[in-house]
Amino acid sequence: MLTRQHVAQKLIDYPGHRISLTELVDWAEKAMMEEDLNERDLPLLRDILARLGLGDVPAFGLTWEDCRNFLHSLGYRVEVTSFE
């Protein structure tokens, strides 16, 4: 079953360069078709996955703000740390 935590981890992995945009989009498209979404969070997860599935379409490009807002809606707080 796909949960908030699964989606959040993918959203964290993307800006952390652990997965590419193509991998994120492919995962979201497959998850929409194949995964059993947590019933309690179905509308939220479906909306996020649908948007992520369009992330590689120029008119719907995925931004840092999109990822941050998705994580926030999943109950996560985002902080950026930079090291020299």
In a domain, 81, yes or no: no
Structure-token pair, residue 48: 């996020």
Structure-token pair, residue 49: 């996955």
* Domain of residue 15, residue span: 4-73
Global pTM value: 0.89
Checking if the pLDDT of 84 tops 90, the result is no
**Tens digit of pLDDT for each residue in 8-39?**
999 999 988 999 999 999 999 999 998 889 88
- Report how many domains make up the chain: 1
- The whole-number pLDDT of residue 16 equals 87
Q: Which amino acid is at 73?
A: S
In a domain, 84, yes or no: no
Burial of 73 (0-12, 13-18, 19+ CB in 10 A): middle
In a domain, 78, yes or no: no
In a domain, 83, yes or no: no
In a domain, 17, yes or no: yes
- The whole-number pLDDT of residue 26 equals 97
DSSP per residue, 18-70: SS-HHHHHHHHHHHHHH--B-GGGHHHHHHHHHHHTTTTSGGG---HHHHHHH
In a domain, 80, yes or no: no
In a domain, 41, yes or no: yes
